[in-house]
Amino acid sequence: MCADPRGATALPDTTIKNTSGMARLVLKFGGTSVADLDRIRNVARHVKREVDAGHQVAVVVSAMAGQTNKLVEFCREASPLHDAREYDAVVASGEQVTSGLLAIVLQDMGVNARSWQGWQVPIKTDENHGAARIRDIEGSFLSERLEQGQVAVLAGFQGVAPDNRIATLGRGGSDTSAVAIAAAIKADRCDIYTDVDGVYTTDPRIVPKAQRLDRVSFEEMLEMASLGAKVLQVRSVEMAMVHGVRTFVRSSFDDPDAPQVGENGLPIGTLICDEDELVEQQVVTGIAYAKDEAQISLRDVADKPGVAESVFGPLADANINVDMIVQNISPDGKTTDITFTVPEGDFERANKVLEDNRGVIGFQNLEGARDVVKVSVIGIGMRSHAGIAAQCFRGLASKGINIRAITTSEIKISVLIDSAYAELAVRTLHSLYGLDG
């Protein structure tokens, strides 16, 4: 999502030098950035630019665009019920190819580079093959190589599980790998190179006037990532916030030899950082939307203690995430209607879980809808400003947009609306909060 006037005044350099006078950087390149050898050569020029500037550089790469999908499909064709450990062995090979090719190209350019796989570092994960979580990274292995002047090119998306086998981190896991490595080696910054030049106030395809943010707080970015913005993976933002890893989103398609700073003196892109680094705090930072939502309503549920647990307990046991929840009490106080949202991909499974527990829950009817969208207003300035929600509701009402459900937090307001009104709602709210620039 996001550019606002933040950062327009004089701000400190986003590259913090360590005591040796150089910065330690982690550069991460996604699948579109390394889609073929020409793009890998372009990536190598970005890396060489930082090396020539005297920085210590570790690089994390994804598989070439489309390769992971092909490998996943091979596994499915081999056996619909394939072993998750062998699945990881197959799909992790995409990053291995990319890291080796980038190291070869860098070496050809005269850069001292070497590729390393997740198990060699090692990046230790839990035992959940296919969707593992990082438990620990011993940073000394990489730090020693960086101090010796080597560029470490690392395969993202992977680590080693307690069973000593390769484990993958799930889709988008290379972002998480990069941030975790940055934390482990105490990097000054983690640069996430992607196919966009930063985080915008909303999707520029819907709102051409959307602005790129110079800076955004960890909390805001976490909300944006979880509410529909696809720039960064949610787990990577969580990790960056916990470990205080300053993260920079920038485009790999910018000319590596062109000036790397904008008119305001900052690198071109978006810095994700602690709230204390924001010189100006806009009330609203951005508008997010998520189309992968589905609504479920249980009608005439007995209103008694434990009814909520009887509904949401089985869904939790089935690993189905529930988001927006609305409960209405009937006039006689004996029954209630419960409405909530689940990921669209879990809609059918959630319906089956609820039907299987109909006798325990005691609902009369189950209704559902897939033609819904969640639109969210996000901004840390909302903590200290009243009336933001009222503005949102008034603005949507003026366009004839009905709200099905509402959830709020200190820095977020989310509304569930009919999908037909998604773009109108985003454009309306973007203008309403003065984000058009």
Q: pLDDT per residue over 308-326, tens digit each?
A: 999 999 999 999 999 899 8
Distance in angstroms (rounded) separating the CA atoms of residues 338 and 129: 35
At 181, is the secondary structure helix, strand, or coil?
helix
Residue 66 is assigned to a ligand binding site = no
Residue 194 is assigned to a ligand binding site = yes
Structure tokens at 308: 């909520």
pLDDT at 230: 72
Task: Specify the residue for token string 């459900």.
Answer: 405
Residue % of the chain over a pLDDT of 70 = 92
Residue 97 is assigned to a ligand binding site = no
Distance in angstroms (rounded) separating the CA atoms of residues 28 and 339: 40
Residue from 304, 332, 322, 294 nearest 418 by CA: 294
- Sheet containing strand 134-137, edge to edge, reads 134-137, 123-125, 158-160, 166-168
Domain with CATH 3.40.1160.10 in the chain: 24-275
- Cβ 202 vs Cβ 430: under 8 Å: yes
Residue 168 is assigned to a ligand binding site = no
Distance in angstroms (rounded) separating the CA atoms of residues 184 and 193: 20
Of the pLDDT bands very low, low, confident and very high (cuts 50, 70, 90), residue 19 is very low
- Cβ 246 vs Cβ 188: under 8 Å: yes
DSSP-H helix ranges across 357-437: 358-361, 388-398, 422-432
Residue from 331, 169, 224 nearest 2 by CA: 224
Average pLDDT over residues 62-72: 95
332-354 residue pLDDT tens: 778 889 999 999 999 999 999 99
- Cβ 99 vs Cβ 154: under 8 Å: yes
21-50 residue pLDDT tens: 589 999 999 999 999 999 999 999 999 999
At 71, is the secondary structure helix, strand, or coil?
helix
Residue from 319, 297, 432 nearest 375 by CA: 432
Task: Specify the residue for token string 């009608």.
Answer: 299
User: In terms of DSSP bridges, do strands 56-61 and 24-29 run parallel, antiparallel, or are they unpaired?
Assistant: parallel
Residue % of the chain over a pLDDT of 90 = 74
Of the pLDDT bands very low, low, confident and very high (cuts 50, 70, 90), residue 282 is confident
Residue 32 is assigned to a ligand binding site = no
According to CATH, the topology of domain 24-275 is Carbamate kinase (3.40.1160)
Average pLDDT over residues 105-122: 97
Integer angstrom CA distances of residue 87 from 80, 124, 135: 11, 18, 21
Distance in angstroms (rounded) separating the CA atoms of residues 60 and 14: 20
- What is the DSSP secondary structure assignment for residue 90, as one 8-state letter? H
Average pLDDT over residues 219-230: 83
Superfamily of domain covering 287-432: VC0802-like (3.30.2130.10)
Residue 306 is assigned to a ligand binding site = no
The mean predicted confidence, pLDDT, of the chain is 90
Residue 7 is assigned to a ligand binding site = no
> C-alpha angle 37/40/45, rounded to 5°?
130
Distance in angstroms (rounded) separating the CA atoms of residues 333 and 322: 25
Distance in angstroms (rounded) separating the CA atoms of residues 186 and 216: 21
Integer angstrom CA distances of residue 307 from 32, 301, 312: 47, 8, 9
Distance in angstroms (rounded) separating the CA atoms of residues 51 and 225: 31
Residue from 168, 161, 170, 22 nearest 89 by CA: 168
Residue 250 is assigned to a ligand binding site = no
Distance in angstroms (rounded) separating the CA atoms of residues 132 and 159: 8
pLDDT at 11 over 50: no
pLDDT at 7 over 50: no
Domain with CATH 3.30.2130.10 in the chain: 287-432
Average pLDDT over residues 104-124: 97
pLDDT at 20: 47
Distance in angstroms (rounded) separating the CA atoms of residues 392 and 388: 6
43-56 residue pLDDT tens: 999 999 999 999 99
Of the pLDDT bands very low, low, confident and very high (cuts 50, 70, 90), residue 384 is confident
Residue 95 is assigned to a ligand binding site = yes
**Predicted structure pTM score:** 0.83
pLDDT at 164 over 80: yes
Residue from 15, 47, 26, 14 nearest 180 by CA: 26
pLDDT at 262 over 70: no
Residue 29 is assigned to a ligand binding site = yes
pLDDT at 4 over 60: no
User: In terms of DSSP bridges, do strands 365-378 and 335-343 run parallel, antiparallel, or are they unpaired?
Assistant: unpaired
